[in-house]
Amino acid sequence: MANRNMGRVALILTLFMLAPHQRLEAQVPESHGAPETYVDMTPAELAKQVSELKHLMPASSQEMLPEILRRVGATVADFFDNFSNTTCTEHVISAVDVPGETLALHYDATLNYVALVKRGGDNTRLEEYRTDSKGKVVHLEAQRTVVTIGFVSMTVHFHPRFQADSRFSFLGREKVAGQDAYLVAFAQRPGVARRTSLVVFKDRTASVLVQGVAWIDPLNFRILRLRTDIERPDSTVSLVRETTEIDYFQVTFKQGGKSLWLPRRVNVSGQMGRYTYQNLHSYSNYRLFVVQTEESGSRPPS
């Protein structure tokens, strides 16, 4: 019964920069009377929205912000400039529920997650997809789960090329996993942002703006943790709320000793119409991915 009902609903939520798509460049128009973003809130207001910030040591001024953005921008640019095609083991646990009803859908799978440099052009666009144990591309069925993808490239908001697309605020300092970190909030600019998030629900699509908070290592200016939320609900696709939380860690590959900072855990939760959902992603066993020719039987999706 649950699967049959969900089949009619056909839920899909696809996040941030999938395969090349014109709508990913669509600009979201100005919205009059829009609510305050994380950049506009006081520390007390922000702590009510983001519970992790209850122990924040607020910044006394924004004097440090330009230098923080310059240095974190350099590390993000270096990540994309030196990115190598990677694959890893992904474990996905997904749950979709309707509050007050017995309808529920649960999905649990282990797959290969692949992130490739997009051929010919912008190196900040990565192709991210999933394969089975035989290397065949897997498209998760919307009838069985809410689909979320695109986490490796989400730090692009801090890339020097795209910093002008958002407003930023230096929040202060806080510990994450016992480590001291700078906290910077951002909010994409309506009518300006070029890298918006694509949401698909039934036969409707929308591009939504996001805001968020980054926890940044004060020594090497790597992003240790990233949280994003949609800036406002979108009635086109019935998206009420959506939060993505990503924890990063350093991966050193055996081949050549190259290191990259990549997602370790991702938690996506939200509400679309009357459906609430949560996806837990965990990543392990990262390794370099060799793209073979079509004749050899393996090639990334176009």
Nearest to 158 by CA among 179, 185, 180: 185
Contact (Cβ atoms closer than 8 angstroms) between residue 266 and residue 70: no
**282 located within any domain:** yes
**167 located within any domain:** yes
**118 located within any domain:** yes
Could you tell me whether strands 166-176 and 104-117 are parallel, antiparallel, or unpaired per DSSP bridges?
A: unpaired
**Which range (26-30, 119-123, 158-162) has the least confidence?**
26-30
Q: What is the pLDDT of residue 202?
A: 76
Strand partners, 118: none
Q: Which domain holds residue 193?
A: 2-28+35-287
**HEC-encoded secondary structure of 30-56:** CCCCCCCCCCCCCHHHHHHHCHHHHHC
Contact (Cβ atoms closer than 8 angstroms) between residue 244 and residue 267: yes
**300 located within any domain:** no
Count of domains observed in the chain: 1
Tokens 């924890």 — which residue? Answer: 247
Contact (Cβ atoms closer than 8 angstroms) between residue 224 and residue 248: yes
Contact (Cβ atoms closer than 8 angstroms) between residue 66 and residue 59: no
**268 located within any domain:** yes
**292 located within any domain:** no
**Which range (32-36, 85-89, 189-193, 265-269) has the least confidence?**
32-36
Nearest to 216 by CA among 207, 208, 229, 225: 225
CA distance 119 to 114: 15
pLDDT band (50, 70, 90) for residue 100 = confident
The three-state secondary structure class of 96 is strand
Q: What is the pLDDT of residue 142?
A: 57
CA distance 228 to 244: 5
Tokens 């240790």 — which residue? Answer: 224
Tokens read off for 54: 């209850």
The neighbour count for residue 237, using CB atoms within 10 Å, is 20
Q: Tens of pLDDT along 142-151?
A: 556 788 999 9
Positive/negative CA dihedral, 59, 266, 192, 51: negative
Positive/negative CA dihedral, 229, 162, 284, 94: positive
**299 located within any domain:** no
**294 located within any domain:** no
Contact (Cβ atoms closer than 8 angstroms) between residue 209 and residue 242: no
- pTM score: 0.85
